[in-house]
């Protein structure tokens, strides 16, 4: 099968699942309820359009929840400098302006290069026929019936011709979705956009600091309940993943940015809608290394470590998406993190950008 063969090549991110039991939150002893916000003042420069100043400070990253994924544990205390951040995910309209201005062609629109693909596959993997190496991307394609949740190929399909302009394949378009987050974006696409916009991708630490909105030790970006008073505060998946998406929050797929309430820093959709790329390589032991519970990575060592995908080169994505469900991945939490193949996109991953202050005393990157 053409689609299956290509899919095995390009899909290097695996999605384990677990169910986080309610009310099992455990906090570290030194975990304060609130961040220690940096004394750095907001810069005097005018706020860039659609960005807010994230003040920086000290906070607790990750979690000690016993049922959270191992890659999110343990909680560690870290500090971050202040920075400007996009209040919403980069939209289709914004990405179209970039493409129009530069003529940029995304990775999903280019013919896959076998020499690049094979670097992330076990040695000796045979080269597929050229006829299957065609432009395209991974599209969420749910089966019409319940399926075992261990096999992601039952709902992720490679679709020839899928790209940011054609999110579900050649017959789909962006009509009515101009204000939705752009998807099918590979890391180099996001970097190219960032260079054009004079911004950069956030680090994982910056992203999580911003998503938590000043509150430490909370399971969600807004507190400890997923839907306080029955209110949906993010675009996630209701129903039974993957086949039954009730769209109770109003959306089966992506939603227009800024539809749901912002967090206390004024940021929209940090949780849900689409996963967001960060500039960090994915290391499943990152928090354990920071806490001194695993050996540090020496200079020159592979910065990626994912026991489920040993040959993959992945960047960290954060925040979960419209596909995060209570019966499956539960990744609509600030501490949630996943590896995402650096050289491909999917229909549920996008990005937003940050920018350093012009005054280097305020942001010392
Ligand atoms: Ca939804
Ligand atoms: Ca998001």
Q: Which ligand is nearest to the CA of 210?
A: 2
pLDDT number for residue 30 = 44
pLDDT above 70 coverage of the chain, percent? 89
For residue 122, pLDDT over 70 is answered with: yes
Residue 352 CA to ligand 2 centre (angstroms): 8
pLDDT number for residue 361 = 61
The answer for 86, left when phi > 0, alpha when psi is -120 to 50, beta otherwise, is beta
Q: Which ligand is nearest to the CA of 254?
A: 1
Residue 242 CA to ligand 2 centre (angstroms): 19
Q: Which ligand is nearest to the CA of 278?
A: 2
How high does pLDDT run on average in the chain? Answer: 89
pLDDT number for residue 37 = 84
pLDDT number for residue 300 = 87
pLDDT number for residue 28 = 44
Residue 198 CA to ligand 1 centre (angstroms): 32
Question: Which residues are near ligand 2, the ion (C-beta closer than 5 Å)?
Answer: 269, 273, 319
pLDDT number for residue 364 = 46
Residue 220 CA to ligand 1 centre (angstroms): 16
Split at pLDDT 50, 70, 90, the class of 42 is: confident
pLDDT number for residue 32 = 61
Model pTM score: 0.90
Q: Which ligand is nearest to the CA of 89?
A: 2
CATH 3.90.1300.10 fits 1-356, yes or no: no
pLDDT number for residue 359 = 74
Residue 347 CA to ligand 2 centre (angstroms): 13
pLDDT number for residue 362 = 54
* Preceding peptide of 74 cis, ω within 30°: yes
pLDDT number for residue 19 = 41
Higher pLDDT, 218 or 26: 218
Higher pLDDT, 29 or 68: 68
Residue 316 CA to ligand 2 centre (angstroms): 13
Residue 266 CA to ligand 1 centre (angstroms): 21
The C-alpha atoms of residue 290 and residue 296 are separated, in whole angstroms, by 8
Residue 63 CA to ligand 2 centre (angstroms): 19
SS3 192: helix
Q: Which ligand is nearest to the CA of 348?
A: 2
Q: Which ligand is nearest to the CA of 336?
A: 2
What is the domain partition of the chain in residue ranges?
1-356
The C-alpha atoms of residue 23 and residue 45 are separated, in whole angstroms, by 43
pLDDT number for residue 182 = 98
Higher pLDDT, 30 or 62: 62
pLDDT number for residue 335 = 97
In order of 2, 10, 69, 125, 258, the CA distances from 157 in angstroms are 11, 11, 25, 21, 29
Q: What is the pLDDT of residues 130-182, one digit of tens each?
A: 888 899 999 999 999 999 999 999 999 999 999 999 999 999 999 999 999 99
Higher pLDDT, 247 or 41: 247
Mean pLDDT of the region 77-101: 97
Determine how many CB atoms are found less than 10 A away from the CB of residue 222.
Answer: 23
Residue 109 CA to ligand 1 centre (angstroms): 27
| Degrees, nearest 5: CA angle 27-29-34 | 70
Residues 6+ away with beta carbon under 8 Å from 126: none
pLDDT number for residue 34 = 83
For residue 81, pLDDT over 80 is answered with: yes
For residue 33, pLDDT over 70 is answered with: yes
Q: Which ligand is nearest to the CA of 325?
A: 1
* 74, 293 contact by CB (below 8 A): yes
Split at pLDDT 50, 70, 90, the class of 31 is: low
Least confident of 74-78, 102-106, 125-129, 338-342: 125-129
For residue 227, pLDDT over 70 is answered with: yes
The C-alpha atoms of residue 323 and residue 252 are separated, in whole angstroms, by 9
The C-alpha atoms of residue 216 and residue 35 are separated, in whole angstroms, by 6
For residue 24, pLDDT over 80 is answered with: no
**Sign of the torsion formed by the C-alpha atoms of 269, 227, 261 and 70:** negative
* Preceding peptide of 84 cis, ω within 30°: no
Q: Which ligand is nearest to the CA of 268?
A: 2
Q: Which ligand is nearest to the CA of 90?
A: 2
Mean pLDDT of the region 294-323: 93
SS3 55: coil
Residue 290 CA to ligand 2 centre (angstroms): 25
């Amino acid at each position: 099968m053409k689609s299956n063969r290509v899919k095995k090549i390009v899909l290097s991110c695996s999605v384990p699942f677990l169910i986080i039991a309610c009310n099992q939150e455990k906090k570290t002893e030194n975990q304060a309820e609130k961040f220690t916000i940096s004394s750095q003042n907001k810069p005097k420069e005018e706020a860039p359009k659609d960005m807010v100043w994230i003040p920086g400070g000290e906070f607790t990253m990750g979690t000690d929840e016993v049922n959270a994924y191992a890659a999110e544990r343990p909680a560690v205390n870290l500090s971050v400098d202040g920075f400007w951040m996009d209040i919403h995910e980069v939209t289709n309209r914004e990405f179209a302006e970039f493409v129009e201005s530069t003529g940029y062609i995304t990775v999903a629109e280019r013919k896959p290069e076998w020499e690049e693909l094979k670097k992330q596959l076990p040695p000796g993997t045979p080269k597929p026929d050229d006829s299957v190496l065609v432009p395209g991307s991974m599209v969420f394609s749910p089966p019409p019936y319940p399926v075992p949740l261990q096999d992601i190929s039952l709902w992720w399909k490679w679709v020839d011709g899928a790209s940011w302009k054609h999110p579900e394949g050649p017959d789909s378009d962006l009509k009515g979705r101009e204000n939705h987050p752009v998807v099918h974006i590979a890391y180099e696409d996001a970097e190219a956009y960032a260079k054009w916009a004079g911004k950069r991708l956030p680090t994982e630490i910056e992203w999580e600091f911003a998503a938590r909105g000043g509150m430490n030790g909370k399971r969600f970006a807004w507190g400890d309940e997923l839907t306080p008073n029955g209110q949906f505060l993010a675009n996630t998946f209701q129903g039974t993943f993957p086949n039954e998406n009730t769209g109770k929050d109003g959306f089966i797929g992506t939603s227009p940015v800024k539809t749901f309430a912002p967090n206390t820093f004024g940021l929209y959709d940090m949780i849900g809608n689409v996963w967001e790329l960060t500039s960090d390589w994915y290391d499943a032991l990152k928090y354990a290394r920071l806490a001194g519970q695993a050996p540090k990575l020496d200079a020159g060592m592979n910065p990626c470590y994912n026991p489920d995908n040993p040959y993959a080169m992945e960047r960290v994505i954060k925040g979960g998406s419209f596909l995060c469900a209570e019966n499956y991945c539960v990744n609509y939490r600030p501490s949630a993190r996943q590896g995402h193949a650096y050289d491909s996109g999917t229909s549920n991953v996008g990005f937003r950008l940050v920018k350093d202050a012009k005054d280097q005393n305020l942001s010392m990157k």
